[in-house]
Amino acid sequence: MPDSPRKLTDHPDVGEVLVSEEAIAARVAELGAQITADYEGKSLLLIGVLKGAFMFMADLSRAIDMPLEVDFMAVSSYGNSTKSSGVVRIVKDLDLELDGRDVLVVEDILDTGLTLNYLRKNLLNRNPASLEVCAMFIREGRQAPETDLKYVGFEIPPTFVIGYGLDAGERFRNVRAIRAFEGTL
């Protein structure tokens, strides 16, 4: 049996650091403060898009200094690939009603914008009082022009990345920084 790497970050599929753990923590704190100020006096509902946004959603919810509610959706356009299939489907729907609520969708990464545009249309049909999006990462040069985001963490290169909830074939979500993926699926 071959020796396995001692640390996750020593794995041959885990490439260079693109966004450090420290930079992520600082930006999440900034986003939390901005969202707290923007939603002062409102009843905020965060909707986390599973699975990739679960770490960001947990950190962001703790950085927002006001009472809030959370719910989750799972939407897929990737399957087990590094490229979007172009077909979006809801894998897990919300448990809470959106009618008349201030909603903030928490996304891990925006690539083509296909999934986000589908999700926005779906959620707007549920009559929220407001609907905004907070994406931790935007892959530079890839999103559709109609994707207008109020809150953005970082713009990253157009390479496939892992870490901070982002995966490659369901692996490497637990890498603490955003790193290039050097493997194949």
Kindly list the catalytic residues: 111
118-144: b (≥16 Cβ within 10 Å) or e = bbbeebeeeebeebbbbbbbbbeeebe
For residue 3, with 0-12 CB atoms within 10 Å meaning exposed, 13-18 middle and 19 or more buried, which class applies? exposed
Pair of tokens at residue 148 = 């207008």
- Using DSSP's 3-state secondary structure scheme, residue 37 falls into helix
86-108: b (≥16 Cβ within 10 Å) or e = eebeeeeebeeebeebbbbbbbb
Rounded Cα gap, residues 124 and 132, in angstroms: 10
CB atoms within 10 A of CB 27: 17
Return the closest-CA partner of residue 85 out of 111, 49, 52.
Answer: 111
